[in-house]
Structures are given as C-alpha cells and as structure tokens.
Chains A and B, each alone.
Chain A
Amino acid sequence: MSGEGSGERRREGRRSRCGEAHGPDGVFWRVRNLLASLANRGAEPVRRTPALQPHRRALWALAAAAFLIQYEPALSLAAEQQEIAIGYLRETRPKVSLSLIDLPAPNNGVAGALLAIDDNNTTGRFNGQGFALADATLAPDEPDPGRTLDMLAEKGAAFVIADLSAATLLKAADAARARRMTLLNIGAPDDRLREEDCRADVIHVAPSRGMLADGLAQYLVWKRWSRWLLLSGSHDSDKRFADALRRSARRFGAKIVAEREFVDTGGARRTDSGIAEIQRQMPAATQGAPDYDVVMAADESEVFAGYLPYRTWDPRPVAGSAGLVPTSWDAAFDQWGAVQLQSRFARAFRRAMTALDMNAWTAARMIGEAAARTNSNDPSVLGAYLRGPDFSVAAFKGQALTIRGWNLQLRQPILLFDGRNTVSVSPQEGFLHPLTTLDTLGADQPETRCKLQ
C-alpha cells in the first residue's frame, strides 16, 4: 500500500495556505524548476515569483529571455491562448513510515502534478493552451473546506486534485458540488468512496483497496501461493485493507488459514536500538500458525509490516503492506516507456517518484488530455469528455486507462513490487472478463453499490 493512503504529511501552520504554481510554458517551467532546485536545494518549487530574492529574479529574467528567443516561432502558431487552472488540495497528515527511505518528501504528490502541468504546457505550446496549478492546504482544524475551495475557484480552478482522507474528501465533495467543481481523488483508497458513498463530482484516480488487493491476489493465486496468514493492524485503515484482502481471497479462491491482529500500542517507530526487540517480536507474532504459503500484512499505518520480511517464525514470503506490495507506481518501474517519466521527474525534483506523485501526474494529465482533445477550456465540456465514452489517458501502464462510468474510478493495471524491482503487473493471464480484464480488479459493475448523484 506504500503511498496510496499516505498523503502530504508536512506540518503546516494553522491557517490554510493557497499558493499558485503558474507555468505559462512547459520548458520555461522546467528551467525554473531546475534553477529553483539548484539555487535552493530541497525547497519546494511551487513558489510565486514575488517571493524570490532579487538575484534570483535576474536568473528568471535570463531564463525567460532564453525561452522567448528559443520558442517564439512555435508560440506564434497559437491563435488565442486558452488558460486552464487546476487546483491541488491537501491536508496535513502525520508523517510516518517504518523505513527511513520511505519518509514522504514535503512535495510528495504535488510534484507529480507540477510535472504533468509541465507536460501539458509542452503540448499546449503547440495548440494554444496554458496550464497552471493552484495549490492549497487545509488547516488542521478547518471544518469546512468550502472557503479553501473558493480560493481555488477564484484562481479559475474547476478541477481540483485532492489528496485528502476519506472523511475530508466527502466534506470537500459536498462543498465542491455547490460550486460546480470536480474533485480528482489521488490519496484515498477507501472502497466506500467508490461504492455506498460515491459522488458524481469525484473522479477516483487512485486505485481502491479492492483493486490493489485483487491485483496482489491474482498474482499469488497464479503462483499457487494461495494459503495466507493474515496479520492486520488495529487502525481503521488497516482493517479496511484486511477486508479487501478477505474479499479478494473469496473472489479468486485463496484461503486465509488464520487471522491475527497486531495491536498498535503506540510509541516511536524509530529508536536507537529498536531492531533487537523487533527481531524477537516478529517471530513471536507469526509463531504457531497452521501451514501457510504467504504472510499477508494489512498495515497501512506503518506499525509492523515492514518488520516482517526475514523475521517470520516460518521461512515464508511477506505480501500486502510489505514484501510484495501492490501499488499504482514505484520509482523502480521501467516498463512501457516509464523510464522517460522517471527520468523527467528525477531531473526536475531530484528524488524518486512515488505512487502519490504518479496519481497526481495522471490526474493533471487527464485534464490536459481532455483539454487537448476537446480544444476547450470550458469546465462543462472537459467534465463531459472525462466522463464520456471517448476518454482515455496513457500513463505508462501498457494500455489505455479509461473511466468506469458507474462509479468514476480510473481503470488501471496494478503494479507489484518487491521494494527493488517490478515483480509483475496485474491483471494476470487467465483472469477473464467479458468487457475488459481491467474490470477483474475491484468492484465490477454488476456488484456495485454506487448510485452516482
């Protein structure tokens, strides 16, 4: 689950913040990003020009001049420029991970959106469309996201990429409906948002827990590792992922031989001599189980799953929240031209691209694709195209990604990683479907409880 449920977790001030990341041209943006990262390493490249130091202003001027000289001929092709602002809404969430290398960067997610804005603008340079990102963070005690959505609307954003928890997302969706805005959910994997709590103004770019669990289960069943020891955490999100894994086991014929709960008793995730205790704790947690093939860990809260590999009582592989992990992206993914995106991202942001970054990239590219195909910046035209039968987007997954009309979930293959490399991509061969094999992942149309309104 790495990254799927985890959002932007930087501690912010108590007031909501509403910044703007305006990119009139993709290449200009790239130059600006690069200069920003060089001049101010580690700083978020989403700053407005007025915040710049005078000497950096001179650099911008230089870059802008270089850009004008180089691209003037191409720009002159554009007749009337259509401006499209995309909102980005996040909330402060605690920053937790078991592994030091998984700690999310301050710009986790938004960096992906910025890269897509850059890509959209490179295309826009040729067809007269300009994209900008308006970024806002909800204050921790803000009960109504409406005021922040108003701020985004003032900047012209009718589509808002949302990295929010399920509860906040539902509040934001109600507020968005009144403002005729559409949310693109990139951070909440909760199945209920696609099912009983679905909304006509929320498009789900992030895969659901059900899709992730199904993608993993298909591979394990194909591998004939179908006896699972299910170890789940004590937090609500852990329990929801365990539910999804149980459902996948029923669906694809795997067997959960025993279930155990790993209770979070609190405390720090990192202590100076912690490994000595963990080395004794994990074998005990997996001792005395009936015969099984794989430990299935449901631990979105990052409490124990990362400690399981190589420490189980029996020598068994680990899957789920650690070991073999289902996700929408990993920095190691290199199939179907993905290396190009990975290197563009690394070049712009000097770090690895996470699943949340990829969800945000895909969301912003979906808007870019709708704008390019309809040659419009009218939100109602773009909204209809996104929800219509002609929409598809390419996202380095080997096939077109389309939207499930019945619950507005983006259809997508699920990638499986071992932490270093791509292990497989689901759906697996042999799992068939009358319409598209992608619908073997997650709730399918005949079983959906969603009534869009």
Chain B
Amino acid sequence: MQAAIVNRLFLGGIGAGLLSFAVLAAFPAEAYLAFVSNEKSNSVSVVDTDKMTTIKTIPTGQRPRGIAASKDGALVYVALGDDDTISIIDTKALRVVGELPSGEDPEQFVISPNGKTLYVANENDAAVTVIDLATRGAIGRISVGVEPEGMAVSPDSATLICTSETTSMAHFIDAASHQVVANLLLPSRPRFSAYKSDGSELWATSEIGGVLSIIDPAAHKIKETVSFEIPGVRRELIQPVGVNLTKDGKLGFISLGPANRVAVVDGRTHNVLKYLLVGQRVWHGEFTPDEKYLVVANGLTNDVSFIDVAALKVVKSVQVGELPWGVAILPQ
C-alpha cells in the first residue's frame, strides 16, 4: 500500500519527498480495502480496514454472494446467483465493468493460486464451470454431486476441490484434465473447504453435520473430525460454514453460522482454542494481507466483525448492506 500510494502521488503529478512522507504518515500501512457482498441489498460495500468504515456502496445485480479479488488486486469478482453471472468490479473506479459466463446460479468460486483460472460451482446443474480469466471465456465444465458449492484449489494449483451439499462429498478434481480423481464422503451438507498454505491439510465444514473435517488431501481421507460445543448454545445452531487459515497454518477460524461465533482452531493439535462472539449468522471472512485482522460477514446483523488475529478478540463491528455474505480484501 505504501508503494501504491507513492506511485499514485507521482502519477497525480504531485511532488515526491516531504509531501508523500506527510501523506504516508496520514495513511498507516494497514489501510486495505475490503469488499463485502450484500446478498439482500444487491450491492457490494467497500470498507476501509484502517478507518473501519464503509466508504462506498457499489450497486450490483441480484443476489451477490461469492466474492474474491484478482491476484493483482485490480479487479474484484462477485457471483450474482439470481442473474446467472459473475460481475467484475474495477477496484480503482469502484464500479462494475464487466462480467464472466458463470453458468446457472453461481454461489461460490475460487481463483487458482496462479491467478489464471476461475472455478465456479453451479448449484442447480451439479457442475463446475471453468473460466479462463485472460479471455473471460468458459473453457470447461465438470460434472460433480448434487448442489456443488464450496470451491478450493491446492496451493500448487494442481487439484481442485468441490464440495456438494446434498451428495455430502468432497470431489477431488485434476485441474489439468478436469477429471474427478477421488470422492470423499463428508458429514452432512458440506459448505466450504480450504487448504493449509503448505497443502498438507484440507479443512472442510459440514453445516448440518455441525463439524469440521481435517482431510489428508494426498490420501483423500478424513484424519480428524473437530466438533464444537458452546455453553448455552443449542447443538443444532452450530452450523460451521466459512474457513480461514493463517498463512503459517497455526490458526484456523471457523464461522459457525447461527451460533453467532467464530471458533479458533489450533492448526497443529486441532483443538478449539476459543469462541469469538460476532454478529448473527456469520458466513464467510477474509484476512487483511498482513493478517492483522480477520473480517467476517454477519448475515443477519448487517455488519462485518473485525477480529484482531494476534489478540483473538473482536475489536469492531462495521455496518454494511443488508445480509452480508462474503468478504474479499485487496492484496495491496
């Protein structure tokens, strides 16, 4: 961000030196932009993570949910479930500038670590559509289980994971050949999965099963099942959804939906360390690039919670649009 600001100042024809130093002092290093999809209000809220305020609301098409930034941070993609498309938002102009051919009813998608390919689950079609981001065209379609939703790609971009809700499986797909190479039965209604950055583990949540499965992705086997117990919260309200793992793999944050909490899970022992009280019906979240904060979307309280990752504390709630669902944060 520092470099970017300096650059922009140069481009703007304003002198360097003292002036840019003064601006830098006014903008601390952690100022990132978070883009929050609002499922109900058909918009994306832009949140300044340093000031912790919503600075702009971008109108989109209908039912925006899955959201992610391009690797260079120039674009944010948001899946519009009721418009059967993925909108492209220009992160400088802060407006919709194009769309991708997502197939029917897109909810979640993932961009490969090399930034070239976008994989989107088509819930109504039991399929995954593969999109080449350079040409913005669909280059493949993969048949999977009933109601595919959660998408993940291995850190080496070689394996694609799709979890299907009614089939209750994780499908391991070879990213090069688009062939399903293995299927793993998971506890009821898997919603989401995420790799550890070293590729050693895949963490998958089961919304109705109420658990987190720690999967050995090489063996295609569940090696451990993590369950959650919160005093005073009924078991059926514990519905794990979003997963965010720190880059060093030491901590995992599991959004527990209507339990209104994010569970902090030890990356090594898989013990639950803490439950953080956030807003109601917490869905998905994203770290700031420096991993100082995890920003999670609270579906029923129309806000995002900022979790201080070092302190494991919720430090702030910021109002966004109606029924926020997902968060994308620009890499710089």
Partners in one complex: yes
User: Do the beta carbons of A122 and B145 come within 8 Å of each other?
Assistant: yes
CA distance A77 to B166 in the complex (A): 20
User: Do the beta carbons of A393 and B188 come within 8 Å of each other?
Assistant: yes
User: Do the beta carbons of A344 and B188 come within 8 Å of each other?
Assistant: no
* Given contacts A27-B143, A74-B180, A340-B105, A122 and B167 within 8 Å (CB-CB): yes
Chain B window 180-201, contacts with chain A (Cβ cutoff 8 Å), 1 for yes, 0 for no = 1011010011000000000000
User: Do the beta carbons of B143 and A394 come within 8 Å of each other?
Assistant: no
Q: Tell me how far the C-beta of A345 lies from the nearest C-beta in chain B, rounded to whole angstroms.
A: 11
Chain B window 138-169, contacts with chain A (Cβ cutoff 8 Å), 1 for yes, 0 for no = 00000101110000000000000000011111
A399, CB-defined interface residue at 8 Å: yes
B210, CB-defined interface residue at 8 Å: yes
Neighbour of A123 across the interface among B145, B179, B209, CB < 8 A: B145
Q: How large is the interface on B (under 10, 10 to 19, 20 to 34, 35 or more residues)?
A: 20 to 34
* Given contacts A340-B123, A394-B188, A394-B189, A126 and B145 within 8 Å (CB-CB): yes
Interface positions, chain A 378-400, Cβ under 8 Å from B, are 392-394, 399-400
Known interface pairs A73-B180, A340-B165; 14 further A-B residue pairs with C-beta atoms within 8 A, sorted by A's residue number: A26-B146, A74-B180, A122-B145, A123-B169, A127-B185, A337-B123, A337-B147, A399-B208, A399-B236, A400-B188, A400-B209, A436-B234, A436-B235, A438-B236
User: Do the beta carbons of B208 and A394 come within 8 Å of each other?
Assistant: yes
A71, CB-defined interface residue at 8 Å: yes
User: Do the beta carbons of A344 and B180 come within 8 Å of each other?
Assistant: no
Interface positions, chain B 218-249, Cβ under 8 Å from A, are 234-237, 239
CA distance A373 to B187 in the complex (A): 9
A343, CB-defined interface residue at 8 Å: yes
Neighbour of B147 across the interface among A26, A340, A392, CB < 8 A: A340
Neighbour of B208 across the interface among A365, A372, A392, CB < 8 A: A392
Q: Tell me how far the C-beta of B44 lies from the nearest C-beta in chain A, rounded to whole angstroms.
A: 22
* Identity of the chain B residue whose Cβ is nearest the Cβ of A433 in the assembled complex: B234
* Identity of the chain B residue whose Cβ is nearest the Cβ of A373 in the assembled complex: B185
User: Do the beta carbons of B147 and A73 come within 8 Å of each other?
Assistant: no
CA distance A393 to B180 in the complex (A): 25
Chain A residues lying within 8 Å of B236, measured Cβ to Cβ, are: 399-400, 436-438
Chain B residues lying within 8 Å of A119, measured Cβ to Cβ, are: 146, 166-167
CA distance A70 to B145 in the complex (A): 14
Chain A residues lying within 8 Å of B146, measured Cβ to Cβ, are: 26, 119, 122-123
* Identity of the chain A residue whose Cβ is nearest the Cβ of B235 in the assembled complex: A436
Q: Tell me how far the C-beta of A64 lies from the nearest C-beta in chain B, rounded to whole angstroms.
A: 16
CA distance A123 to B148 in the complex (A): 12
B318, CB-defined interface residue at 8 Å: no
User: Do the beta carbons of A343 and B188 come within 8 Å of each other?
Assistant: no
| Contacts from B to A (Cβ < 8 Å) | 105, 123-124, 126, 143, 145-147, 165-169, 171, 179-180, 182-183, 185, 188-189, 208-210, 234-237, 239
28 intermolecular pairs with C-beta atoms under 8 Å apart: A26-B126, A73-B179, A74-B143, A77-B182, A119-B146, A122-B126, A122-B145, A123-B166, A123-B169, A126-B145, A126-B167, A126-B169, A127-B183, A337-B123, A337-B165, A340-B124, A340-B147, A343-B105, A344-B124, A369-B188, A372-B168, A392-B188, A394-B165, A394-B189, A399-B237, A400-B209, A400-B236, A437-B234
User: Do the beta carbons of B208 and A400 come within 8 Å of each other?
Assistant: yes
Chain B residues lying within 8 Å of A27, measured Cβ to Cβ, are: 126, 143
CA distance A26 to B143 in the complex (A): 11
Chain B residues lying within 8 Å of A343, measured Cβ to Cβ, are: 105, 124
CA distance A410 to B239 in the complex (A): 20
CA distance A400 to B168 in the complex (A): 13
Chain B residues lying within 8 Å of A70, measured Cβ to Cβ, are: 143
Chain A residues lying within 8 Å of B124, measured Cβ to Cβ, are: 340, 343-344, 347
CA distance A343 to B123 in the complex (A): 10
CA distance A183 to B235 in the complex (A): 30
* Given contacts A27-B143, A394-B189, A126 and B209 within 8 Å (CB-CB): no
Q: Tell me how far the C-beta of B98 lies from the nearest C-beta in chain A, rounded to whole angstroms.
A: 26
Chain A residues lying within 8 Å of B185, measured Cβ to Cβ, are: 127, 372-373
Chain B residues lying within 8 Å of A123, measured Cβ to Cβ, are: 145-146, 166-169
User: Do the beta carbons of B165 and A71 come within 8 Å of each other?
Assistant: no
* Given contacts A340-B147, A400-B209, A437-B234, A126 and B183 within 8 Å (CB-CB): yes
Chain A residues lying within 8 Å of B237, measured Cβ to Cβ, are: 399
Q: Which 7 A-B pairs have the closest CB atoms?
A: A126-B183, A123-B167, A399-B236, A394-B208, A394-B189, A400-B208, A119-B146
Chain B residues lying within 8 Å of A393, measured Cβ to Cβ, are: 188
* Identity of the chain A residue whose Cβ is nearest the Cβ of B104 in the assembled complex: A343
CA distance A71 to B168 in the complex (A): 19
Chain A residues lying within 8 Å of B167, measured Cβ to Cβ, are: 119, 122-123, 126
Interface positions, chain A 358-415, Cβ under 8 Å from B, are 365, 369, 372-373, 392-394, 399-400
User: Looking at A74, A344, A393, A400, which has the most chain B CB atoms within 10 Å of its CB?
Assistant: A400
